[in-house]
Copies of this chain bind each other. A is one copy, B any other.
Amino acid sequence: MTLAEIARALGFELRGDGSVEIAGVAPLESATPGTISFLGDRRLAHLLATTRASAVILPPEAPDPTMPTLRAHHPYLAFVGVVELLHPPKRSARPGVHPTAVVAPSARIGARASIGPHATVGERTTIGADAVLHAGVAIYEDVTIGDGLTAHANAVVREGVRLGDRVTLHAGSVIGSDGFGYLPLPDGNKKIPQVGTVVLEDDVEIGACATVDRAALGATVVGRGTKIDNLVMIGHGCRIGEHCLLAGQAGLAGGTKLGSRVMLGGQAGSAGHLTIGDGVQVGAQAGMHRDIAAGTVVSGYPAMEARTWRRVIMTFPRLPEVFRRLRRLERALGIGRGEGDEEPEPR
């Protein structure tokens, strides 16, 4: 495709030679001739002098570099458009039910759906149009799924779960497993039946080997447009708002509520039954142990305002020094050590 063709297809302004052939996309640092790149962050503008990219996407006001450019107000978003143009999603899955798939007689499958080898669909389950179930996907009975499902190999959806439109389940993910609820009694742990369900709203994406547990009663809900990364654990009865982003290995204990557009860093975790407000941003590995007000940016273990936590951790390497300085001051004043201070000082 030529640069001019790309500009025309996506409606971007072209400056310079539109006849250059563009075969691929790349970041500025690793671009090679024949690729197009973009400037997402002005602090990287110096890379324009050295990149080997054949064309670059820039904001309209940026000065012309040596190579031809496309102009867009959000260069990263424009770049994503080019990626989509040059790498259109391959639909390798053919419509139809593979002869090795096992679809229950009472299940209903929408138009153009592709049910791959060894996939199973339980009794009374309905799946909308254009679904793609890859190899080994197991959908239990009484499940309701909207249009446009993509379920990668060996994903599992347990009985009675409800999925909206355009849901993506990555390989090995498990939706609707029993919540972890037990009453510890003298003769052992009594299982609390988990008779609720899970609802994944439209455009939800669930990462590989991530698990979303069914509620004990009612439903665990993941709101529209929320994206959940690999190996994340959503406990029973959680309610997650719209357009949240939960990074890899994050975990929510049972009953926690997230507002909309909440962002959790990798390995972050919450205690149960918390309320995390709209737009909260949580740093990687942070430990949420109480409610967090909307708009707050938190980090740390335990989680606190990120600004505070940054100052706290700057003190950590200096903590041993504190005891030396206290001792010196006490000696200068002839103050003995107080009650409860009898153990040897940390060095």
- Cβ of A76: which chain B residues have Cβ within 8 Å of it? 183
Q: Does A313 contact B (CB under 8 A)?
A: yes
In the assembly, what is the distance between CA of A324 and CA of B205, in Å?
48
- Contact A154 to B138, CB < 8 A, known contacts A190-B77, A193-B80: yes
Interface residues of A in 257-276 (CB under 8 A from B): 261, 263, 266-267, 269, 271
The A contact surface, by secondary structure, is: loop
Residue from B218, B253, B267, B314 within 8 A of A247 (CB atoms): B253
A154 to B92, CA, bound (A): 21
**Across the interface, do A301 and B301 meet the contact criterion of CB distance under 8 Å?**
yes
A285 to B311, CA, bound (A): 21
Determine whether the beta carbon of B209 is less than 8 Å from that of A211: yes
Q: 16 A-B residue contacts at CB 8 Å? A: A80-B193, A83-B193, A83-B195, A89-B193, A102-B135, A118-B118, A135-B138, A180-B248, A191-B227, A207-B211, A231-B233, A248-B253, A300-B316, A311-B347, A315-B319, A318-B323
Q: How far is the CB of A78 from chain B (nearest CB, A)?
A: 11
Set of chain B residues within 8 Å of A269, measured between Cβ atoms: 249, 266-267, 284-285
A43 CB to nearest chain B CB (Å):
14
A66 on interface, CB distance cutoff 8 Å: no
Question: In the complex, A328 Cα to B337 Cα: how many Å?
Answer: 10
Measured between beta carbons, the chain B residues less than 8 angstroms from A300 are 316
Tell me which residues across on chain B come within 8 A of A231, comparing CB atoms: 209, 211, 231, 233, 251
Q: With an 8 A cutoff between CB atoms, is A57 at the interface?
A: no
Give the distance to chain B from A79, nearest Cβ to Cβ, in Å: 9
Check A188–B208 contact: CB distance below 8 A.
no
Q: Cβ of A312 < 8 Å from any Cβ of B?
A: yes
- CA–CA, A172 and B266, complex, Å: 21
Additional pairs, 11, CB under 8 Å, beyond known A83-B217, A135-B138: A26-B217, A83-B193, A92-B141, A117-B120, A170-B178, A174-B208, A184-B243, A211-B231, A229-B233, A267-B269, A318-B345
Contact flags (1/0) for A178-196 with B, using CB distance below 8 Å?
Answer: 1010111100111111010
A104-140 contact mask (Cβ, 8 Å, vs B): 1 or 0: 0000000000001110101100000000001110101
Instruction: Judge whether A147 is part of the interface by a CB distance below 8 angstroms.
Output: no
Nearest B residue to A98, CB-CB: B102
Q: Which of A120, A141, A343 has most chain B Cβ within 10 Å?
A: A120
Instruction: Count chain A residues whose beta carbon lies closer than 8 angstroms to a beta carbon of B.
Output: 121
Q: How far is A308 from B80 in the complex, measured between Cα atoms in Å?
A: 44
A335 touching B332 by the CB < 8 A rule? yes
Cross-chain contact A301 with B285 (CB below 8 angstroms): yes
Within 8 A of B (CB), among A159-206: 159, 170-172, 174, 177-178, 180, 182-185, 188-193, 195, 203, 205
- In the assembled complex, the Cα of A136 lies from the Cα of B138 at a distance in Å of 8
Enumerate chain B residues within 8 angstroms of A90, measured Cβ to Cβ. 159
Q: Which residues of B contact A41 (CB under 8 A)?
A: none
Within 8 A of B (CB), among A300-331: 300-302, 304, 308, 311-326, 328-330
Q: Which A residues, 220 to 272, have Cβ-Cβ distances below 8 Å to chain B?
A: 224-225, 227, 229-231, 233, 235, 242-243, 245, 247-249, 251, 253, 261, 263, 266-267, 269, 271
